[in-house]
């Protein structure tokens, strides 16, 4: 019977090509626009480290006090040097690392090579296991290296190739800011989007991944200046990078790993205890105002998904709804036009269920056709999204099997949904009236 | 009017659908136009500098001179080389440029020394530039004077203990915020550690945008300090018209000629920088235009489809009306009035929806309130669209001959 209904549907659709084309266009367009924006939204709102994000936390401490707080009462979203070092020394989480952005110059080994300007971070040894950073060769450095401020570095595969050519460069020496560092690890391709450990400086998204990681204390000791953003509530009293370290300016990100709810509670108490201690010592003249957000909550707090992307998604959904309403109206017109045919079928003994099957079949065919058109348009849309959205974000959007399947599914389901009411009306057609009027 | 309304009662569902469609379109279109208007207004803001004549570059190098004396001699050498380029009117070093999104310093400044919080204005952006900065950038002063040669001093806001330069140029917005309704010229501004440093306002400019426009600092809350050396090290060149692009190409070579160990990290014409800054705004405007266009097209097509259906359904009745004396004009006007009524209902509902949608956007995405003037625009657009869409089917209805009344089907 299904095959027969399909044939009927095709026949009926062919009979009024204008109306059919209109419905297919409406559905194809609506689905394509919402799927295109969805592909972008999916790309930017994705969890960069899904297997672990619920165990990663970002502590925030209010070192500026009520006068610098916004209307939302939130403490600053990064740490000053003193507090970051205090939290690192306390070592209350299973793993933790302070992080700050550096931009040193690197001189490749080949003679006569020009220096490269690279981006990177000063971090602690636990950074690598905490974020499951993948290594191609070697590994991160040890706690002892951190303590001794050893001249060691982890570099990206790209930088390794630029500086040493192909092959394993672990153990070789690299010139960073005029000093020699021993390469202990080479990263496999690693460029998480959003760059969740440095949201403040990058806004969450940037093109190339970091090229170099150095021990935090080493980078501080050699005076490698902060390349990330610095925010101050009061000007530093002393000069330069040392002055920045003595100030309450915020420029350091801190991430900790807490394995269970008890550890989270424990860390919260520790933070409040620390702030209370500072208050007692006279450094803070206010009651503790700390936050401990897990990574997904922190990314939301930092508005990592751009506002425009959300507005676009909302607008595209609105377009889809209008398309559906349009389709309901057109299907209604199409089905009721065939009241006579329905009357004859009913009079010959077809139950209402049969009418339902026939017309939902027809709606499904329209949906499938709209879906196919939607697939094409989504392809065009994702390819052209760079014209419309910021490039760094548009680059993340891509077509995959799940997007294609979802496009088809949304098109057919939406059309079936739109077809429900018209089909209901069709099944209520009174056979007697139709037969009489003809 | 009455017969039209009672006829509509027989097509409740279809009427409700069209009304809903128009309402949604109305809500989305009015908010869309509003968002477009907002972004256009931002994009039309004057930067306050000579957009089309500026070229800028940044460099970083190995073994940066660490003492301020050696930095100063380097900067002097660089500037001399840059000023020697053909067609370059002047060159300075600044920490940042309007809309460049880099090197911005935000700080609190106060009306009184050691002032309490109430006496200070925060998130004020500090620009700093070397000798000739006002003329090179093309900043127009609406009040007061340019810096005097002796006022350029060795100062860095992040090296707190040194006293700030004696004079400062501020924007009109900052003046209004610091001293509402008063003449800002000659007024003191306190800054630095515990607001211990003091400088005095010598000039006011009406336009000078911040390095980036955001909620905290607004669009143009900033001040310009005269310095001998600006951290951030942004070389800004003002060129003769016509040689800008050549200057841009040659700039890296000239800087490398002074010191080949350096790396040129940025090198742009300023108009490209401004255009880059608004890339996202332009993108959103295009997106919204496409969506609004397709929405209107879809709605029009929907109206055409349903009106055609109605005309077809009522062919017999139209024939009867014509047979008992209705003119073609009557039939035409019937369908036009019907469409007007339905679209009006949709607009009334849509205006409500538009306000609700705007409230949602305001809450979720920090958009400003929709001014009521945008609502009539959307309403007029939809009325016109509805009339246009119904014209074809209505003309076909008007063409139905009276003789149809005598036929049975």
Percentage of residues of chain A with pLDDT beyond 70:
94
Three-state SS letters, chain B: CHHHHHHHHHHHHHHHHHHHHHHHHHHHHHHHHHHHHHHHHHHCCCCCCCHHHEEEEEEEECCCCCCHHHHHHHHHHHHHHHHCCCCEEEEEEECCCCCCCCCCEEEEEECCCCCCHHHEEEEEEEEEECCCHHHHHCCCEEEECCCCHHHCECCCCCCCCCCCCCEEEEEHHHHHHHCCCCCCCCCEEEECHHHCEEEEEEEEECCCCCCCCECCCECCCEEEEEECCCCCCEEEEEECCCCHHHHHHHHHHHHHHHCCCEEEEEEEEHHHHHHHHCHHHHHHHHHHHHHHHHHHHHHHHHHHHHHHHHHHHCHHHHHHHHHCCCCHHHHHHHHHHHHHHHHHHHHHHHHHHHHHHHHHHHHHHCCCCCCCCHHHHHHHHHHHHHHHHHHHHHHHHHCCCHHHHHCCC
Top-confidence residue, A95 or A208: A95
Check whether residue B182 and residue B245 sit in a common domain: yes
Tell me which chain A residues have a C-beta less than 8 angstroms from the C-beta of B62. 105, 107, 115, 177-178
| Tokens coding B79 | 């500037």
What distances in angstroms separate CA B66 from CA A194, A217, B61, B72, B74, one per listed residue? 35, 21, 12, 10, 11
Regarding whether B121 and B165 lie in a shared domain, the answer is: yes
Residue A36 sits in the same domain as residue A57: no
The domain boundary residue, chosen from A285, A301, A317: A301
User: How confident is the model over B394-408, as a mean pLDDT?
Assistant: 85
Q: Name the pLDDT band for B255 (thresholds 50, 70, 90).
A: confident
Last residue of a domain, which of A272, A301, A330? A301
Are A382 and A341 in the same domain? Answer: yes
Tens digits of residue pLDDT in A74-108: 888 899 999 999 999 999 999 999 999 998 888 87
Looking at residue A197, what is its pLDDT? 87
Average pLDDT over residues A349-357: 89
Shared domain check, A13 and A108: no
> In the prediction, which pLDDT does B65 show?
46
* Percent of chain B surpassing pLDDT 70: 91
Which residue out of A239, A303, A329 would a mutagenesis test of the B interface target, given it has the greatest number of B Cβ atoms within 10 Å? Answer: A329
Q: What would the mean pLDDT of B237-242 be, rounded to a whole number?
A: 90
Structural contact between residues A266 and A91, judged by C-beta atoms closer than 8 angstroms: no
By the CB < 8 Å criterion, does B191 face chain A? yes
- How far B33 CA lies from chain A's nearest CA (Å)? 12
Model pTM score: 0.72
Query: At residue A225, does pLDDT exceed 90?
Result: no
Final residue belonging to a domain, choices A301, A327, A347: A301
Per-chain mean pLDDT for chain B = 85
Structural domain of A138: 53-301
> Does residue B246 lie within any of the structural domains?
yes
A340 to chain B, minimum CA–CA distance in Å? 12
Same structural domain for residues B247 and B289? no
Give pLDDT, residue A371.
93
- Indicate if A367 and A408 belong to the same structural domain: yes
Q: What is the pLDDT of residue B380?
A: 92
Residue B214 near chain A (CB below 8 Å): no
Contacts of B225 in chain A (CB under 8 A): none
Phi and psi (nearest 5°) for A347?
Answer: -65, -30
Same domain for A388 and A267? no
pLDDT band at B193 (very low <50, low <70, confident <90, very high): low
Q: Select the more confidently predicted residue: B70 or A347.
A: A347
pLDDT tens readout for residues B18-49: 899 999 999 988 988 888 888 888 888 888 89
Looking at the structure, do residues B39 and B76 belong to the same domain, yes or no? no
Out of B13, B283, B301, name the one closest to residue A332 (CB).
B13
Query: Are A317 and A394 in a shared domain?
Result: yes
* A182-196, A250-264, B274-288: range with highest mean pLDDT: A250-264
pLDDT at B66 over 60: no
Mark whether A257 and A123 lie in a shared domain.
Answer: yes
Residue whose token pair is 């203990």: B161
Q: Is residue B273 part of a domain?
A: no
pLDDT tens digit sequence for B282-322 = 877 887 888 888 889 888 888 888 888 888 888 888 999 99
In sequence order, the β-bridge partners of residue B144 are B203
- Check whether residue A76 and residue A209 sit in a common domain: yes
More confident residue, A199 or A125: A125
User: Are A154 and A260 in a shared domain?
Assistant: yes
**Which ipTM was obtained for this model?**
0.71
Q: Where is pLDDT greater, at A261 or A48?
A: A261
Please indicate, yes or no, if residue B308 is contained in any of the structural domains. yes
Mean pLDDT, residues B3-21: 84
Q: In whole numbers, what is the pLDDT of chain A averaged over residues?
A: 86
Domain that holds residue B318: 2-43+279-406
In the predicted model, is pLDDT for residue B409 greater than 60?
no
Let me know if residue B56 belongs to a domain. Answer: no
Shared domain check, B94 and B189: yes
> What is the number of domains present in chain B?
2
Instruction: Tell me: pLDDT of B376 over 60.
Output: yes
Residue B250 and residue B295 in one domain: no
pLDDT of residue A391 exceeding 70: no
Q: What is the mean pLDDT of residues B238-244?
A: 90
The confidence score (pLDDT) of residue B19 equals: 92
The predicted structure's pLDDT at residue A254: 94
Task: Tell which wins on pLDDT, B30 or B162.
Answer: B30
Nearest to B265 by CA among B383, B103, B388: B103
**Domain total in chain A:** 2
Residue B274 lies inside a defined structural domain of this protein:
no
Q: How many CB atoms lie within 10 A of CB B51?
A: 17
Do both A425 and A372 map to the same domain? yes
**In a domain? residue B48:** no
- Per-residue pLDDT band for B62 (boundaries 50, 70, 90) equals very low
Is B269 a domain residue?
no
Q: Between residues 79 and 118 of chain B, which touch chain A (CB distance below 8 Å)? A: 106-108, 117
Q: What is the pLDDT of residue B136?
A: 93
Do A290 and A172 lie in a common domain? yes
Predicted confidence at residue B63, as pLDDT, reads 42
Domain boundary among B227, B260, B293: B260
Task: Supply φ then ψ for residue A78, to 5 degrees.
Answer: -150, 180
- Residue A70 — very low, low, confident or very high, per pLDDT cuts 50/70/90? low
Same domain, A65 and A38: no
- Residues ≥6 apart with Cβ < 8 Å to B189: B109, B110, B111, B168, B170, B178, B198, B199, B200, B201, B223
Q: How much of chain B, in percent, has pLDDT values that exceed 90?
A: 36
pLDDT for B391 equals 93
Residues B119 and B247 in one domain: yes
């Amino acid at each position: 019977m299904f095959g027969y209904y399909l044939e009927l549907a095709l026949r009926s659709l062919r009979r009024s090509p204008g109306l059919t084309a209109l419905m297919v266009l409406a559905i194809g367009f609506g689905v394509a626009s919402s799927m295109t924006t969805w592909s972008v939204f999916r790309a930017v709102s994705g969890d960069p480290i899904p297997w672990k994000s619920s165990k990663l936390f970002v502590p925030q401490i209010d070192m500026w006090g009520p006068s610098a707080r916004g209307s939302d009462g939130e403490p600053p979203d990064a740490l000053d040097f003193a507090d970051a070092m205090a939290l690192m020394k306390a070592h209350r989480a299973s793993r933790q690392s302070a992080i700050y952005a550096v931009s040193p110059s690197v001189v490749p080994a080949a003679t006569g090579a020009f220096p490269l300007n690279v981006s990177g971070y000063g971090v602690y040894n636990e950074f690598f296991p905490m974020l499951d950073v993948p290594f191609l060769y070697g590994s991160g450095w040890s706690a002892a290296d951190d303590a001794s401020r050893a001249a060691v570095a982890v570099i990206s595969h790209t930088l390794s190739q630029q500086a040493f050519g192909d092959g394993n460069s672990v153990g070789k020496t690299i010139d960073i800011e005029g000093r020699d560092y021993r390469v202990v690890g080479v990263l496999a391709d690693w460029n998480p989007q959003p760059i969740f450990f440095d949201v403040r400086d990058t806004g969450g998204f940037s093109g190339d991944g970091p090229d170099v990681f150095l021990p935090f204390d080493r980078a501080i000791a050699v005076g490698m200046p902060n390349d990330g953003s610095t925010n101050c509530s009061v000007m530093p009293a002393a000069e330069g990078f040392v002055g920045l370290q003595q100030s309450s300016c915020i420029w350091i990100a801190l991430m900790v790993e807490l394995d269970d709810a008890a550890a989270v509670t424990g860390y919260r108490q520790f933070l409040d205890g620390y702030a209370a201690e500072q208050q007692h010592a006279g450094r803070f003249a206010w009651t503790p105002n700390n936050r401990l957000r897990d990574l997904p909550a922190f990314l939301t707090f930092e508005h990592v998904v751009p506002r425009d992307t959300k507005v676009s998604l909302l607008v595209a959904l609105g377009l889809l709804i209008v398309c559906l309403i349009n389709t309901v109206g057109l299907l209604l017109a199409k089905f009721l036009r065939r009241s006579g045919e329905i009357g004859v079928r009913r009079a010959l003994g077809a139950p209402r269920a049969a009418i339902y099957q026939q017309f939902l079949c027809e709606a499904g065919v329209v949906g499938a056709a709209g879906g196919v058109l939607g697939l094409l348009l989504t392809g065009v849309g994702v390819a052209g999204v760079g014209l419309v959205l910021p490039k760094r974000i548009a680059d993340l959007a891509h077509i995959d099997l799940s997007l294609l399947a979802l496009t088809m599914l949304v098109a057919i389901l939406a059309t079936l949904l739109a077809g429900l009411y018209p089909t209901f009306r069709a099944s209520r057609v009174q056979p007697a009236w139709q037969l009489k009027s003809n | 009017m009455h017969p039209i309304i009672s006829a509509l009662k027989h097509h409740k569902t279809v009427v409700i659908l069209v009304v809903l469609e128009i309402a949604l379109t109305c809500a989305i279109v009015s908010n869309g136009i509003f968002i477009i208007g907002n972004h256009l207004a931002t994009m039309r803001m004057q930067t306050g500098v000579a957009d089309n004549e500026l070229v800028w570059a940044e460099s970083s190098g190995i073994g940066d001179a660490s003492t301020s004396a050696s930095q100063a001699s380097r900067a002097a050498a660089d500037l001399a080389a840059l000023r020697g380029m053909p067609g370059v009117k002047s060159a300075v070093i600044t920490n940042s440029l309007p809309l460049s999104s880099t090197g911005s310093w935000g700080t609190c400044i106060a009306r009184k020394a050691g002032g309490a919080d109430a006496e200070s204005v925060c998130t004020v952006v500090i620009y700093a530039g070397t000798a000739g900065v006002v003329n090179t950038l093309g900043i127009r002063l609406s009040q007061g004077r340019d810096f005097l040669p002796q006022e350029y001093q060795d100062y860095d806001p992040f090296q707190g203990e040194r006293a700030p330069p004696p004079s400062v140029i501020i924007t009109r917005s900052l003046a209004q915020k610091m001293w509402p309704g008063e003449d800002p010229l000659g007024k003191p501004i306190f800054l630095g550690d515990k607001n211990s440093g003091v400088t005095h306002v010598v000039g006011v400019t009406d336009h000078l945008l911040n390095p980036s426009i955001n909620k905290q600092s607004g669009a143009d809350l900033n001040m310009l300090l005269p310095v001998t050396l600006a951290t951030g090290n942004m070389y800004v060149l003002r060129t003769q018209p016509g040689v800008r692009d050549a200057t841009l190409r040659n700039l890296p070579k000239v800087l490398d000629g002074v010191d080949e160990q350096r790396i040129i990290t940025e090198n742009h014409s300023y108009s490209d920088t401004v255009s880059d800054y608004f890339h996202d705004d332009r993108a959103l405007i295009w997106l919204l235009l496409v969506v609004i266009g397709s929405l209107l097209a879809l709605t029009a097509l929907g109206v055409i489809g349903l009106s055609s259906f109605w005309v077809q359904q009522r062919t017999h009745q139209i024939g009867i009306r014509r047979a008992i004396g209705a003119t073609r004009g009557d039939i035409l006007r019937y369908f036009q009035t019907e469409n007007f009524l339905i679209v009006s209902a949709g607009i009334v509902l849509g205006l409500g929806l538009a306000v609700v949608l705007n409230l949602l956007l305001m809450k979720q995405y920090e958009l400003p309130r929709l001014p009521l003037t945008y609502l009539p625009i959307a309403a007029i657009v939809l009325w016109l669209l509805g009339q246009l869409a119904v014209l074809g089917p209505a003309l076909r209805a008007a063409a139905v001959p009276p003789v149809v009344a005598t036929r049975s089907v």
